[in-house]
Structure 1
Amino acid sequence: MGYKNAASILPPDLLSRVQNFHTGMLWVPKTQPKYYEDRNRRIMQLKQSGLTDAQIAREVGLSIRQVKRIISFIRNGAGSEI
């Protein structure tokens, strides 16, 4: 999609509120489809129940590397809503 100037797409009041919190480059992530939220929640439930990364990978149909990345992402706070 590329970069857009916030001043050209946000209402002035919202732009002002964003500027009060942050100036400079700001990345706004797109929302995750419910499928990924549910899958990631399931991965964390399986991890907390004691399964290994390899067992989780087989259960959810991902590679071990992908499972490790998702768990790390969530544990580091990026997926704290899960």
Structure 2
Amino acid sequence: MSYKNGKDFLPPSLLKELQNYIQGELVYIPKIGQTRAGWGENNGTRKLIEKRNREIYQMYKSGTTVVELIQRFHLSEDSIRKIIVKTRELVQNVAK
């Protein structure tokens, strides 16, 4: 993305209207119809974390204790419990 001076390419009437709202500042104008990818969607991180969370939930359901999950996945107790609750809700919603 490069910097462009509005006076070099905007019609004078549009430039004058924009100056009523902002002067001398940088403004980002997004592309039409382009949506940004969510966090971790392009590099696969989101899928890896979802897979890990499902594994944590399945292990918990199979009898693995929270302490054992903490040691295995190197996460805090709070994180493990949040993963269990959130994944349980997702599983229940899919089953409906």
Query: Equivalences for 1:7-46 in 2 at 5 Å?
Result: 9=33, 30=38, 31=41, 33-46=46-59
CA gap 1:59/1:43 in 2 versus in 1, 3 angstroms: same
Q: Runs of at least 4 residues of structure 1 off by over 4 A?
A: 78-81
**TM-score with structure 2 setting the length:** 0.46
CA RMSD in angstroms, aligned pairs only: 2.9
Q: Which runs of 5+ in 1 are unaligned?
A: 1-7, 11-28
Q: How far, CA to CA, are the matches of 1:76 and 1:45 in structure 2?
A: 13
CA gap 1:78/1:46 in 2 versus in 1, 3 angstroms: closer
How many residues align? The count is 56
Q: Is the 8 A contact 1:40 1:70 kept in 2?
A: yes
1:77 positional shift: 2.4
In structure 2, what is the equivalent of residue 73 of structure 1?
86
Q: Which runs of 5+ in 2 are unaligned?
A: 1-31
CA gap 1:78/1:49 in 2 versus in 1, 3 angstroms: closer
Q: Secondary structure at the match of 2:63?
A: coil
Q: Is the 8 A contact 2:54 2:87 kept in 1?
A: no
1:79 positional shift: 8.9
1:50 positional shift: 0.2
**TM-score with structure 1 setting the length:** 0.53
